[in-house]
Amino acid sequence: DIQMTQSPSTLSASVGDRITITCRASQSIGSRLAWFQQKPGKAPKVMIYKTSYLESGVPSRFSGSGSGTEFTLTISSLQPDDFASYYCQQYNSYPRTFGQGTMVEIK
């Protein structure tokens, strides 16, 4: 199985901050990576797929980059609605696997 490792586990930030979350795969997954946002009691919501493609309706302050084994999610200017947990997920092979998550909290 491909292991996905996210860092940091928790990120404290303020509205307007630029933040970056890192995701590393235990082997190359090309660009087959997605990012999800999850709020308490809700299902995850896909934000980015294929490393850098924004899902329809996702604000342009979100961006993704990387390839192979190292990937990043960046929020250019954090907004109140962005405080949530974020997960990366690889879809290069089965079983699909997720990172352990990054909680973005208000500083």
Partner 1 sequence: EGQLVQSGGGLVQSGGSLRLSCAASGFSVTNNYMTWIRQTPEKGLEWVSLLDSGGSAYYADSVTGRFTISRDNSKNTVFLHMDSLRADDTAVYFCAREHNSAAFDYWGQGTLVTVSS
Distance in Å, CB of 92 to partner 1, minimum: 10
Sheet containing 70-75: order of strands: 4-7, 19-25, 70-75, 62-67
Q: Which of 2, 13, 3 is nearest to 103 (CA)?
A: 13
Bridge partners of 88? Answer: 35
Nearer to partner 1 among residue 14 and residue 43 (C-beta): 43
Q: Which of residues 40-99 bind partner 1 (CB under 8 A)?
A: 42-46, 49-50, 55, 87, 89, 91, 94-99
**What does the binding site for partner 1 look like in residue numbers (CB under 8 A)?**
32, 34, 36, 42-46, 49-50, 55, 87, 89, 91, 94-101
